[in-house]
Chains A and B, each alone.
Chain A
Amino acid sequence: MGSRVEISNEGGYRSDGRRQFELRDITINLAQQGQADGSAIITHGLTQVLVSVFGPREAKLRSQTIHDRASINVEVNVAAFSTGERRRRGRGDKRVLEIGATIKSTFEPVVQTMLYPRTQIDVYITVLQQDGGLLQACINGTTLALMNAGIPMLDFVCAVTGGVHSTSPMLDLTTLEENDVPHVTVATMPRTGKVALVTMETRLHVDRFEEIFRLAGEAGKVLHREMKGAVMARTSTLATAMGRQRSVDKDGDEQMHE
Chain B
Amino acid sequence: MEKITIKKRPRFEAVVTQRKFFKKTARGKVIKVLRERYLRDDVSCGIQSCIACQSHLQPTLPVAGVSHPLFPNGHFILPDTNVFLSQMDLVESTLFLPPIILLQTVMEEVRHRSLPLYNRLKALTKMDEKKIWVFYNEYRSETAIIREENETPNDRNDRGIRKATEWYNSHLKVTRPPIRGQAPPKVPTVVLMTEDAANRQIAEKSGIPVISVRKYVESMPEADKLLDLLSAAGSDEIEPTKAAGARQPLYPEYLPTAMLAAGIKAGELHQGHFNANQYNYLEGSVSVPAFSKPVLLIGRENMNRSVSGDIVVVEVFSEKEWKAPGDEVVDQDTTLKNDDVEASGDEGDESDNDEVKARETRLIRSEHATPVAEKQPTGRVVGIIKRNWRAYVCHIDSGSLTSQNTTFLAQQTVFATPVSRLLPRIRLRTRQAPTLIGQKILVTIDRWDVNSRYPEGHFVRALGKVESKEAEQESLLLEFDVPYRPFGKAILDCLPPEGEQWVVPPKSDTHPAWKEREDLRQLLVCSIDPPGCQDIDDALHARPLPNGNIEAGVHIADVSHFVHADTPMDKEASDRGTTVYLVDKRIDMLPSLLGTNLCSLRPFVERLAFSAIWELTSDAEIVNVRFTKSVIASKAAFTYEEAQIRKDDRNQQDDLTKSIRLLNTLAIKLKAKRMKAGALNLASPEVKIHLDSSESSEPIDVEQKELRETNSLVEEFMLLANISVAQKIQETFPQTAVLRRHLPPPKTNFEKLQDILMKRRGIKLDVSSSGALADSLDKCVDPTEPAFNTLVRIMATRCMLSAEYFCSGSVPRDTFGHYGLASPIYTHFTSPIRRYADVLAHRQLAASIGYAPLHPSLHSKSHVERVMDVINRRHRMAQMAGRASVEFYVGLALKARNEREAKGGVKEEAFVIRVFRNGLSVFVSKLGVEGLVMFKRDVKFDAENYTITVPGPSGEVTISVFDKVMINIEVEKDKNTQRGKVKMALVSPVDSSGL
Contacts and interface: CB of A to CB of B under 8 A. Distances in A.
Interface of A: 4, 9-13, 15-27, 45-46, 84-85, 131, 166-167, 171, 174, 176, 205-208, 215, 218-219, 222-223, 226
Contact of B31 (A12, A21, A85, A222): A85
B2 A16 contact: no
B856 A205 contact: yes
Given A84-B34, A167-B566, A167-B856, A23 B136 contact: no
Interface stretch (B5-13, B309-317, B330-338, B372-380): B5-13
Contacts of B566: 166-167
A16 B34 CA distance: 11
Contact of B7 (A18, A46, A176, A226): A18
A131 B8 contact: no
Interface string B1-35: 01111111101000000100001000001011111
A16 B4 contact: no
A200 to B, nearest CB: 15
B38 A17 contact: yes
A207 B856 contact: yes
Q: Please give me the 3 A-B residue pairs with the lowest Cβ-Cβ distance, nearest first.
A: A17-B139, A25-B9, A205-B856
B34 A46 contact: yes
B857 A17 contact: no
B111 A4 contact: yes
A24 B40 CA distance: 13
B36 interface: yes
B56 interface: yes
B4 A18 contact: no
B57 interface: yes
Given A10-B122, A11-B134, A12-B56, A208 B6 contact: no
Contact of A171 (B4, B9, B125): B4
Contact of A23 (B5, B33, B104, B125): B5
Given A13-B136, A46-B34, A205 B6 contact: no
A21 B7 CA distance: 10
B5 A22 contact: yes
Interface in B110-136: 111-112, 122, 125, 134, 136
A219 B5 CA distance: 8
Nearest to A207: B853
Given A16-B36, A20-B2, A84-B34, A10 B7 contact: no
B535 interface: no
B35 A23 contact: no
The contact size tier of chain B is 35 or more
Given A17-B39, A84-B34, A167-B566, A11 B57 contact: yes
Nearest to B565: A167
B6 A25 contact: yes
Given A16-B38, A166-B857, A205-B859, A215 B4 contact: yes
Contact of B38 (A9, A18, A206): A18
Contacts of A176: 35
Given A12-B56, A167-B566, A19 B2 contact: yes
Task: Classify the secondary structure of B's interface with A.
Answer: mixed
B37 interface: yes
Nearest to B859: A205
Given A17-B38, A45-B36, A222 B4 contact: yes
Interface string B833-866: 0000000000000000000010011010000000
A160 B17 CA distance: 23
Interface of B: 2-9, 11, 18, 23, 29, 31-40, 56-57, 104, 111-112, 122, 125, 134, 136, 138-139, 566, 853, 856-857, 859
21 contacts: A4-B112, A10-B134, A11-B104, A11-B136, A12-B56, A16-B37, A18-B38, A19-B2, A22-B4, A22-B7, A24-B9, A25-B38, A27-B11, A46-B18, A84-B31, A84-B34, A167-B566, A208-B856, A218-B4, A223-B6, A226-B6
A177 B5 CA distance: 19
A222 B34 contact: no
Contact of A24 (B2, B7, B23, B122): B7
Contacts of A12: 56-57
Contacts of B2: 19-21
Nearest to B22: A84
Contacts of B31: 84-85
Given A45-B36, A208-B856, 15 more contacts: A4-B112, A13-B139, A17-B39, A17-B138, A22-B4, A22-B7, A24-B6, A24-B38, A25-B9, A27-B11, A84-B34, A167-B566, A174-B36, A207-B856, A219-B4
A85 B38 contact: no
Given A16-B35, A84-B34, A85-B31, A21 B136 contact: no
Nearest to A45: B36
A166 to B, nearest CB: 7
A12 B134 CA distance: 11
A18 B42 CA distance: 11
Given A16-B37, A17-B37, A25 B8 contact: yes
B137 to A, nearest CB: 11
Contacts of A222: 4-6
Contacts of B32: 84
Contacts of A215: 4
A215 B4 CA distance: 8
A222 B134 CA distance: 31
B621 to A, nearest CB: 39
A174 B34 CA distance: 11
A205 B857 CA distance: 9
Nearest to B18: A46
A243 to B, nearest CB: 30
Contacts of B857: 166
A26 B8 CA distance: 7
Contacts of A205: 856, 859
Contacts of A166: 566, 857
Given A85-B31, A167-B566, A208-B856, A21 B3 contact: yes
A211 to B, nearest CB: 11
Best-buried of B6, B9, B40 by chain A (most CB within 10 Å)? B6
B342 to A, nearest CB: 41
A19 to B, nearest CB: 7
A226 B7 CA distance: 12
Contacts of B138: 17
Nearest to A208: B856
Contacts of B39: 17
B776 to A, nearest CB: 46
Contacts of A46: 18, 34-36
B567 to A, nearest CB: 11
Contacts of B36: 16, 24, 45-46, 131, 174
A12 B44 CA distance: 12
A65 to B, nearest CB: 41
Contacts of A4: 111-112
A18 B35 CA distance: 13
Contacts of B104: 9, 11
A54 to B, nearest CB: 29
Nearest to B862: A2
A21 B56 contact: no
A18 B4 CA distance: 11
Contacts of B139: 13, 17
Nearest to B33: A84
A219 B4 CA distance: 6
